[in-house]
Structure 1
Amino acid sequence: MSVPAPAPPPLANSPRRWWALAALTLSVLIIALDGTVITVALPTLSGELGADSAQLQWINGGYLLALSVAMLPVGLLGDRYGHKRVLIGGIALFGLASLAGTQAGSPGQLIAVRTVLGLAAAMIMPVSMAVLPRVFGPAELPKAIGAWTAATAVGMPVGPLVGGWLLNHFWWGSVFLFNVPVVVLALIACVWLLPADRARERGPAVPFDTVGTGLSAVGITALVYGTILVPDDGWGSPRVLGGVVGGALVLAVFAWWQQRCPHPLVDTRLFADPRFRWGTLIAVFVNFALMGIMFVVPQYLQEVLGHDALGTGLRILPLIGGLMAAATLGETLVPRLGTRVVVAAGLLVFAAGTLVGAATGTGDGYAYAALWLTMTGFGFGLAVVPATSLVMASLPAQASGRGTSLLETVQQVGGVLGVAGLGSLLSAGYLAGLSTGGLSRQDADAARDSVSGAGAVAARLRDRDLTASAHHAFVHGMSLALLVCAGIALAGAVLAALFLPARGGRTGAGDAVPAAREVATSPAEHGQSLA
């Protein structure tokens, strides 16, 4: 039986589609900002609220855990009840939690607020991506994905910049209050501009996969929790090993259950489509490397080159510029060369950029950093935008929320592992290259703790040799981390060249992948979307 062609997006030919894209990018931009804006406020919160180091860790960790754990069930809820409804609910919850954050009077209350903010972010991230095909047709979807991706990327370096400015001029609650007007604007724009959720033919009530939800929550929580502890405890810590290994085992049970559950939380049949399987894997590879770079580079710009928070944020913009240029160029290249060639080429450029960065010397200035940051951003955009478009093209309309949630969840976990793994490698390289001879034990411990600690000791003692040693050691550690990023990108390029479909449309297995087609249970559901 032939499958009817999907209905065109409601806004495909309307100028409103670009305003709708602005609303969606605004919603994810505020999440990206909030994910990092709190980092510069931690010392202030420690003094104002009396938070100890463990509580400070969970002000960040609670947000990250809630975001990672909630995305999978949220995608299913979006498919069932409407993507626009869930998105608007998430934006509203984000605004209310931000208001509550300004009134927090204790570390425990602030941890609770940050956890709710993570839950709200989980309602926004995957669902906003799932809405994109309801606004843009196939020809313009890559451009929309590029803008959406750029919004999430630009928020990471800009967050500390905004946070630092706010703390310099206002009280600590301003880092939460800042969210509120942006949330109100995003809420109004999404309500007004996004297409309404479509009513769907209702069949028999389908039970919710509570077992799968519980297993995924426990597994992701344990894995992310163990990874969060790495900077303080090290990879050999029983808590880290217990969390990472235990989480991996629980997630293996979760995967087994999804194969056997009649109505699973994650439709594992999506992996039968090589577009989804390899596009997701490559996106995870790139996100792992990029998150590690975003962890390392701000420290290099601030501690080695000596720029303040504002200058550091501005000097990361070449990476974003490269991403946007690649997203624009990719629109032209993909139809001509095919997704396989463009993604593999992007990963090679990404690898080249990180290799150039790995050759950084302590005497190199910002111009050299701007060169390899631009190359890295360009390669990232050239790879991740077509790969994401490939994944989106593989998703049945009525399961797009589950598909994007799965993509965002594995990317989120990959990013967490990237920061922990590459951060540990940076630390090991730094310690191996640092010379603390002649220092007291207390000063040596402070210098070994971080490059900023070494800088403080060197400034107090007026020890230029310690400054030079710390800078050399940090650049050595950064080079090791960037070499690993280059290796990951090269491995991704090989996988893309070998396994990605040449084109982003149908696969060679037929006119559509049967597993994906089975997600719709009746002919009337084909081409029907919830949002």
Structure 2
Amino acid sequence: MNLLGERRRWWVLGALVLAQIVVALDLTALNIALPVLARDLGAGTGGLQWIIDSYTLVSATLLIPAGLASDRYGRKKMLAAGLAVFLGGSLMAALSSATGTLIAARTLMGVGSAVIIPMSLTVLLVVFPAAERAKAQAAYAAASFLGLPLGPLVGGWLLDRFWWGSVFVINIPIALLALVAVLALVPESRSTDAPRLDAAGVLLSTGGLAALIYGFIEQPVHGWAAPQFWGPVLAGAAALALFWTRTRRSADPLVDLTLFRDRAFAAGTIAATALTFVLFGVLFVVPQYFQGVLGAGTLGSGLRLLPMIGGLVVAARLGTKVAEKAGERAALTSGLAIIALAMAAGTLSDSGYGLTAAWLTLFGLGSGLVLPTAMSLALSALDVDRAGAGSGLLMTVRMVGGAFGAAILGSVLAAASGGVDPSAVAADPAGFLDGMDAVLWTCCAVAVSALAATAAVARGTSAGESDHGTVLLA
């Protein structure tokens, strides 16, 4: 469905890119402030994990219902509402003075992002005809992509000059500008076949994910054998099993599981989720390494991430050519292999920056090959009527990967480092490095597993076709 003239379509894309940038920047700008929050708010590893996961958990669990609601009630309305909620949460976060208040504010921001992320993708699918969609998706992916590593750089610059709340203040003008642009430029649209909202399914999926992640966040405090760990994990697994069973039997399910039969959607989702898991792990430990072990300031920490951004920029430009000439499968598997190599090389870092710059560059190169290709593949499986639900499912799986990345890798760091306090890394750099090595080896294992899974999903697919006739793998 082509709703707009060519010139206005690209103006709409600009509004969507603004909305995506504010979310992408916020996802990672906070990571550079973790050592500052540990000191100024007295937040331990668990508190820092909840500051991150309160956002990603709420966002991940509400993405699908938000997508369904937009299909039914109007995508422009939902996108504008999401930006307004995100703006309000950012203001509350900037004014917070305690860990609990900040976690509450981050939760509110997660609600807003749960609407913004799928709505931006959905409007893109609705506004652009098939012939222009790949180019529009590439521009959108670039905004998401570059916003992630730019977050620590912007955050570092702000923290070097202002108080820690400034990393949230920067969201306000960008979100406000995006809100005005959406109201002025984006057309309203709805699905002609929107399913009803499954309240029981929402409760089961939300509660299950919340319980699982809660258990992993609390593990460093109570230990692997403690009921405080196993109780929530088992309860969460049971709730998700019930959700899966309910979804498979429902005539009008909350999640369209048949999308995973499409090789394009499955391969793209696996690769993008693994990358998100690894990225959250890298951005959780590396700023602490820069500040606690290398003695860098907040701005210095952001600047030391520039090699990763450089790798992203280079690979993002080359990724399209690789996919065109060698096929999407080659781009995905090559990127995941480079990421695994980067994680293994990262374990050789000690108290110098040269090797760290090299493996961060490799990580950026691998990520630049994976994310645009993975997102383009997954989105190619979606039709316009189910665009909200489908994009919500895609981003839910990615955000769950990020939430588990922060939860699981935070637990790995705490266990392998001997419980080094985030505010006192400089007092025990050797212990922290042991924990960081464990985190990077875990990320390496995830990248290798995703590489094998992506290759398996792609195997047997003929060139240029997926199970449903969408462009897939060469």
Query: What TM-score, normalized by structure 2, do the two folds share?
Result: 0.86
Distance 1:151 1:132, change over 3 A: farther
Pair 1:158–1:20, CA change in 2 (3 A): farther
Shift of 1:177: 3.9
Output the CA distance in 1 between the equivalents of 2:86 and 2:468: 43
Q: Compute the displacement of 1:476 (Å).
A: 3.4
Partner of 2:426: 455
In 2, the alpha carbon distance for the partners of 1:210 and 1:407 equals 20
Alpha-carbon distance, 1:117 to partner? 1.8
Q: 2:212 aligns with which of 196, 209, 223?
A: 223
Question: Would you say the 8 A contact 1:70–1:122 is kept in 2?
Answer: yes
CA positional deviation for 1:27: 2.0
Aligned residue among 7, 22, 30 for 1:30: 22
The corresponding residue for 1:214 is: 203
> Counterpart of 2:386 in 1: which secondary structure?
helix
**Residue 323 of structure 1: how far off its partner (Å):** 1.8
Amino acid at match of 2:358: L
Shift of 1:198: 3.2
CA deviation string 1:63-92 (max 9, x = no partner)? 344223221210111222232221111001
1:187 matches 2:169: no
Residues 246 and 307 (structure 1 numbering): CA distance in 2 closer, same or farther, change over 3 Å?
same
Partner AA of 1:197 in structure 2: E
For residues 396 and 66 of structure 1, the distance between their equivalents in structure 2, rounded to whole angstroms, comes to 26
Counterpart-to-counterpart distance in 2, 1:53 and 1:298:
14
State the shift of 1:512 in Å. Answer: 6.0
Instruction: Give the C-alpha shift of residue 253 in structure 1.
Output: 0.7
274-283 or 205-214, which deviates more: 205-214
Aligned twin of 2:188: 197
The equivalent residue for 2:442 is 484
Secondary structure at 1:397's aligned position in 2? coil
3-state SS of the aligned residue for 2:76? helix
8 Å contact from structure 1 (residues 146, 381) kept in 2: no
Partner of 1:471: 429
CA–CA separation in structure 1 for the residues paired with 2:406 and 2:45: 19
Larger Rg, first or second structure (1 or 2): 1
| Contact 1:46–1:52 (CA under 8 A) maintained in structure 2 | no
Q: Work out the CA distance in 2 between the residues paired with 1:256 and 1:209.
A: 14
Q: How does 1:213-292 map to 2 (within 5 A)?
A: 213-292=202-281
Number of the residue aligned with 2:318: 329
Shift of 1:124: 0.9
Q: Which amino acid aligns with 2:309?
A: I
**1:179 Cα shift?**
2.8
Q: Is the 8 A contact 2:41 2:98 kept in 1?
A: no
Question: For residues 378-409 of structure 1, what are the alpha-carbon distances to aligned partners after superposition, in whole Å with 9 as ceiling and x for unaligned?
Answer: 10120122111110001121112112211222
Unmatched tracts of structure 2, length 5 or more: none
* Distance apart, 1:151 and its partner CA: 4.2
Aligned partner of 2:412: which letter? L
1:153 aligned onto 2:148: yes
Q: Which residue pairs with 2:451 in the alignment?
A: 493
Give the corresponding residue for 1:506: 465
Shift of 1:17: 4.9
Distance 1:228 1:34 in 2: 21
Q: 2:57·2:399 contact (CA, 8 Å) conserved in 1?
A: no
Equivalent of 1:426 in 392, 404, 413:
413
Determine whether 1:380 maps to 2:367: yes
Change beyond 3 A, Cα 1:231–1:124: farther
Q: What's 1:528 paired with? A: none
Q: Is the 8 A contact 1:20 1:190 kept in 2?
A: yes
**CA-to-aligned-CA distance 1:22-69 (integer Å, 9 cap, x gap):** 43233233234444537466458748xxx9998887555543442232
Percentage identity across aligned positions?
38
- Listed one character per residue, the Cα deviations across residues 403-425 of structure 1 (whole Å, up to 9, x for unaligned) are 22112222222222222333333
User: After superposition, where does 1:279-318 map in structure 2 within 5 Å?
Assistant: 279-318=268-307
Q: Deviations over 1:137-169 (max 9, x none)?
A: 24414522431332441354246425524644x
**Residue 192 (structure 1) shift:** 2.8
Asked if residue 71 in structure 1 is aligned to residue 63 in structure 2, the reply is yes
Alignment equivalent of 1:84, drawn from 71, 76, 91: 76
Residue number among 143, 151, 155 corresponding to 2:138 in the alignment: 143
Q: Does structure 2 conserve the Cα–Cα contact (< 8 Å) formed by 1:351 and 1:485? A: yes
Residues 65-74 or 254-263, more deviating: 65-74
**What is the identity, as a one-letter code, of the residue corresponding to 1:455?**
A
Cα gap change, 1:158/1:276 in structure 2, threshold over 3 Å: closer, same or farther? Answer: same
Return 174-183 or 320-329, whichever deviates more: 174-183
Q: Report the Cα offset of residue 246 of structure 1.
A: 1.4
Query: Are 2:76 and 2:189, in contact at CA under 8 Å, matched by a contact in 1?
Result: no
Please report how far the alpha carbon of residue 325 of structure 1 lies from its aligned counterpart in structure 2 after TM superposition: 1.9
How many Å separate the matches in 1 of 2:258 and 2:420? 47
Which of 382, 402, 406 matches 2:389?
Answer: 402
Tell me the matched-pair count. 464
